[in-house]
Amino acid sequence: MKAWIKYPLMFAAFVLLQVLILNQIHLGGFLNPYIYVLFILLLPISMPRYQVLLLSFLLGITIDWFSNTLGLHAASAVLIGFLRSPVMALISVREIEQSDYPGLKQTGIKWFLTYVAVLVFIHHFFLFYLEVFSFVGFFRTLLRSMLSTVFSVLVIVLSQYLVFRK
Amino acid sequence: MRDLYRFILRNHVIFLFVLLEIISLVFVFNYNNYQKSRFLNSSSQFTGNVYNRYNRVTEYFRLSTVNRQLAEENARLRKLVGIPKTVRFIPDTLRGYQNSEFQYIYISAKVVSNSVNRLQNYITLNKGSKDGIKPEMGVICADGVVGMVTNVTPSYSSVMSLLNVRWNISAKIARNNYFGTLSWDGKDSRKVYLSDIPFHVNVFPGDTIITSGFSATFPEGIPLGTIETVDKEGGSSFYTIAVKLFLDFNALSWVEVIENNRNKELELILKRNSNDEGLD
């Protein structure tokens, strides 16, 4: 599929999936999966970084718009957009240079899992602390971000097997 | 000067990152003063529309619960009808009672979006300023208080839920009329806390908590929940009282918005009081 139609479609799909289905999931007030970050993670590796940042901001602010949390998701998404390249550089191996698309099929399970887990954890950690905006109940929030990370990563990896096969 | 341009160009990613983060954080901090966030919220026409369409599909799955709630409410109302001449019926959404003897007018509305899993939860209703809804009106349903209207657009309105850590309401113990402040701690969506009840008051688990009617937003005597546990915390002279809500926010579908005809008068007198005390 052409990139100019594929990415806008993915954008819309992730926003709708997040606000209509995943935002309704809340197990014990603890597990809030945020899968929309996968959109940022799946942008082409060669894409200029300023474009990645702008798209992250746009995605975050759209999610905020729907969930009444103005700025919260935008700040977290921009952080992920910024840290994407450094994290890639840190864990990079030969495989990923062969393809421009950092999906599971293209990069292998080990690389993909590390890549997703690190960035999703940073995102959730930043998001939950910014939401609470205090270090009161530090460990509760930490536990919340860790459990939510596990849940999100699980859903992301499953989605790679089910939806993004190719 | 050319060096400066080159410097910015070389580090454009970092500059853009910092700029976007600052924009986002400015949004976050302005938004926390929720009055400032009159734009871009879920009561805006566009997102309201999307939620409304989605809701039309999902409401079928909740029909049995809604039926049960309506049946219960019917039963309650029928009981009231049985008592002659004490109750007068006020047509639901009919306008034109502005100068009437009735203090409260109820406008029924449907919930199109709702959340319970955040620290600040908001609800979107399918009625707005066209139907007479204004900011700061109270919202209730058959099982208790739902929240307070914060923003309205012509056909949608946004309601700050009782499950919002930045908001609380005045409530009292039905049995002895001692009043306190009811607030949510952000954890369990079925549990809220009543504070400011001093130690000399007799409080028992199972006591019913109702609204106090001290604010202009809610009439007196709306049932809220029952006391679950009563704790004495060291160093404090007030009880910590956990209250189990009658209302399950997870299954909210139809609500009523309260219009208080004497709101302005009450606000005026409260304002005069605070002026007398030399407050702002």
Nearest to B47 by CA among A114, A19, A43: A19
Number of domains in chain B: 3
Q: What is the pLDDT of residue A141?
A: 85
Please state, for a pLDDT cut of 70, what percent of chain A lies above it. Answer: 89
The secondary structure of chain A, three-state, reads: CCHHHHHHHHHHHHHHHHHHHHHHCCECCCECCCCCHHHHHCCCCCCCHHHHHHHHHHHHHHHHHHHCCCCHHHHHHHHHHHHHHHHHHHHCCHHHHCCCCCCHHHHCHHHHHHHHHHHHHHHHHHHHHHHHCCCCCHHHHHHHHHHHHHHHHHHHHHHHHHCCCC
Single-letter amino acid code for the residue at B49: N
In-domain check, residue B278: no
Q: What is the pLDDT of residue B273?
A: 78
**Are B13 and B64 members of one domain?**
no
Nearest to A133 by CA among B31, B183, B191, B149: B31
Q: Average of pLDDT values for A56-84?
A: 90
Q: What is the pLDDT of residue A119?
A: 94
Residue B190 domain boundaries: 168-245
Residue B34 has pLDDT above 50, yes or no: no
**CA of B194, closest CA in chain A: separation in Å?**
21
Q: What is the pLDDT of residue A98?
A: 64
In-domain check, residue B186: yes
Q: What is the pLDDT of residue B192?
A: 92
Residue B35 has pLDDT above 50, yes or no: no
Q: Average of pLDDT values for B104-128?
A: 85
Please state, for a pLDDT cut of 90, what percent of chain A lies above it. Answer: 35
Partners of residue B49 in chain A, C-beta under 8 Å? none
A43 touches chain B (CB under 8 A): no
Confidence of residue B223 (pLDDT cuts 50, 70, 90): confident
In-domain check, residue B172: yes
Residue A37 has pLDDT above 60, yes or no: yes
**CA of B107, closest CA in chain A: separation in Å?**
24
Q: What is the pLDDT of residue B48?
A: 76
Single-letter amino acid code for the residue at B77: L
CA-nearest residue to B57 within chain A is A20
Q: What is the pLDDT of residue A125?
A: 92
Tally C-beta pairs within 8 A across A and B. 91
- Asked if this assembly's ipTM is beyond 0.95, the reply is no
**Are B52 and B155 members of one domain?**
yes
Q: Does residue B49 or residue A84 have the better pLDDT? A: A84
Residues A50 and B12: beta-carbon distance below 8 Å: yes
**Are B118 and B255 members of one domain?**
yes
Q: Average of pLDDT values for A10-23?
A: 89
Residue B211 has pLDDT above 50, yes or no: yes
Residue to test with chain A: of B8, B11, B14, B21, most A Cβ within 10 A: B21
Give the dihedral of Cα atoms B38, B42, B44, B47; nearest 10 deg: 150
**Are B91 and B22 members of one domain?**
no
Q: What is the pLDDT of residue B42?
A: 52
In-domain check, residue B217: yes
**Are B73 and B159 members of one domain?**
yes
**Are B147 and B255 members of one domain?**
yes
Q: What is the pTM of this model?
A: 0.58
Confidence of residue A118 (pLDDT cuts 50, 70, 90): very high
Residue to test with chain A: of B12, B24, B31, B50, most A Cβ within 10 A: B24
In-domain check, residue B12: yes
pLDDT in tens, B168-201: 888 999 888 888 999 998 888 889 999 888 888 8
Q: Across the interface, do A60 and B24 touch by the CB < 8 Å criterion?
A: yes
pLDDT in tens, B57-100: 877 777 878 887 887 777 777 666 654 444 455 555 554 444 44
A104 touches chain B (CB under 8 A): no
CATH number of the domain where residue B186 is located:
2.40.10.350
What average pLDDT is seen over chain A?
85
Q: What is the pLDDT of residue B32?
A: 55
CATH number of the domain where residue B160 is located:
2.40.10.340
**Are B124 and B256 members of one domain?**
yes
**Are B130 and B254 members of one domain?**
yes
Residue B166 has pLDDT above 90, yes or no: no
